[in-house]
């Protein structure tokens, strides 16, 4: 009997076709509500998830054990890179393999981050709005150039490195910090490796986050962090919303400590669940002219959809050899 994989989100057909070719039967439920995922766990050998499905200890525990003592669920495939939605210790305890595709959307994220920054610098969102409204105030839409600016990158993994590569040739100086790496930018002469995050805080005109969400990065950008930064810096966040304390950033923007922000991710990305205080906070953020916002789509391109599928398929195929 074929092993079964449950797909809980929209994926490129390349992944579905590839899984079938290596012997899997597919339950393709891209619109499956999270509440209904549990009913499928006992009958599947693998699951493909995106951000809407949180693989908890309880959920994994619904997978039955065989005569060999192993759980039927053999693997979890994450469409992307963030593993904060998976209880990793629980998966390890059950010998459930974790597959992800951290390199699949690195170019997409880097291009998106640069696009947001250029849009902010040149006021393109508001210039577009003005022209559509037949307004023609060129002086009000005068932008600034990136040349000679210092751009700080926090986290130099796949996405951070890709963003640094996009900045080559723009006449900027890149300051990078990664607490888990050394000698990571030796091949990039426009990038300076910093010994401490304070080096970036003191110097950077732009700070871009490229870190995973964990206990150490939760609210990494908070009131205290912002106070130590260069006055009038620009914040870019294409990583995880909860790496940033939204209230602190909003305060910094309103007071001018933060000159502008490019935000693709947010602490709460489900507007229908906003509390009254969250609704007020986000309304204030949305009404600011010095921000560029997008709905967590930095890594969400047609090309990255295929690349993520291909990377996951390669890992799963290797696992089955």
The percentage of the chain sitting over the pLDDT mark of 70, rounded to a whole number, equals 100
Q: What is the pLDDT of residue 102?
A: 87
Catalytic residue (choose from 20, 296, 302, 303) = 296
Which residue, chain included where needed, has tokens 């990039």?
A: 188
Q: What is the pLDDT of residue 260?
A: 98
Shared domain for 228 and 137, answered yes or no, is yes
Shared domain for 170 and 114, answered yes or no, is yes
Catalytic residue (choose from 43, 198, 269, 303) = 269
Shared domain for 150 and 123, answered yes or no, is yes
Q: What is the pLDDT of residue 82?
A: 81
Domain that holds residue 112: 106-293
Catalytic residue (choose from 12, 112, 210, 240) = 240
Shared domain for 152 and 215, answered yes or no, is yes
Position 298 in a domain: no
Q: What is the pLDDT of residue 67?
A: 86
- Six-digit token string for 280: 């007020």
Position 136 in a domain: yes
Mapped onto helix, strand or coil, the DSSP state of residue 14 is: helix
Q: What is the pLDDT of residue 69?
A: 85
Position 90 in a domain: yes
Q: What is the pLDDT of residue 321?
A: 77
Cα torsion angle, 231, 232, 234, 235, sign: positive
Beta-strand relationship, 233-237 and 24-28: unpaired
Q: What is the pLDDT of residue 80?
A: 87
Q: Is 296 a catalytic residue?
A: yes
Position 243 in a domain: yes
Task: Please tell me the distance from the alpha carbon of residue 133 to that of residue 112, in angstroms, as a whole number.
Answer: 26
Residues β-bridged to residue 151: 174, 206
Shared domain for 12 and 43, answered yes or no, is yes
Position 196 in a domain: yes
Shared domain for 76 and 136, answered yes or no, is no
Question: Which stretches of the chain score pLDDT less than 50?
Answer: none
Q: Is 72 a catalytic residue?
A: no
> Can you give the pTM of this predicted structure?
0.93
Q: What is the pLDDT of residue 198?
A: 94
Shared domain for 284 and 210, answered yes or no, is yes
Kindly report the average pLDDT of the chain as a whole number: 96
The CATH number of the domain where 51 resides is what? 3.40.50.720
Mapped onto helix, strand or coil, the DSSP state of residue 31 is: coil
Shared domain for 132 and 243, answered yes or no, is yes
Q: What is the pLDDT of residue 301?
A: 96
Q: Tally the domains of the chain.
A: 2
Position 169 in a domain: yes
């Amino acid at each position: 009997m074929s092993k079964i994989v449950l797909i809980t989100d929209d994926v490129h057909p390349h992944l579905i076709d590839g899984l079938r070719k290596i012997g899997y039967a597919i339950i393709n439920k891209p619109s499956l509500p999270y509440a209904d995922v549990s009913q499928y766990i006992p009958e599947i050998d693998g699951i493909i998830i995106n951000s809407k499905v949180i693989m908890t200890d309880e959920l994994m525990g619904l997978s039955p054990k065989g005569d060999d003592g192993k759980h039927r669920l053999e693997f979890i495939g994450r469409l992307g890179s963030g593993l904060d939605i998976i209880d990793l210790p629980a998966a390890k305890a059950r010998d459930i393999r974790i597959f992800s595709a951290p390199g699949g959307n690195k170019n997409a994220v880097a291009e998106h981050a640069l696009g947001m920054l250029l849009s902010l610098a040149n006021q393109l969102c508001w210039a577009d709005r003005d022209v559509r409204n037949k307004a023609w105030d060129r002086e009000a839409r005068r932008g600034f150039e990136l040349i000679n600016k210092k751009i700080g990158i926090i986290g130099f993994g796949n996405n951070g490195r890709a963003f640094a590569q996009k900045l080559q040739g723009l006449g900027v100086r890149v300051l990078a910090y990664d607490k888990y790496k050394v000698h990571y930018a030796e091949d990039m002469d426009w990038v300076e490796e910093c010994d401490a995050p304070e080096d970036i805080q003191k110097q950077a005109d732009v700070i871009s986050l490229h870190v995973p969400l964990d206990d150490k990065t939760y609210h990494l950008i908070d009131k205290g962090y912002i106070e130590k930064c260069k006055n009038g810096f620009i914040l870019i966040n294409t990583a995880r919303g909860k790496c940033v304390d939204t209230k602190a950033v909003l305060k910094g923007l309103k007071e001018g400590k933060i000159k502008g922000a490019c935000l693709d991710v947010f602490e709460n990305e489900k507007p229908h669940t906003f509390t009254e205080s969250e609704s007020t906070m986000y309304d204030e953020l949305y009404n600011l002219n010095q921000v560029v916002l997008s709905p967590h789509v930095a890594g969400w391109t047609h090309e990255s959809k295929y690349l993520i599928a291909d990377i996951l398929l390669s890992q799963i195929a290797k696992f089955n050899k």
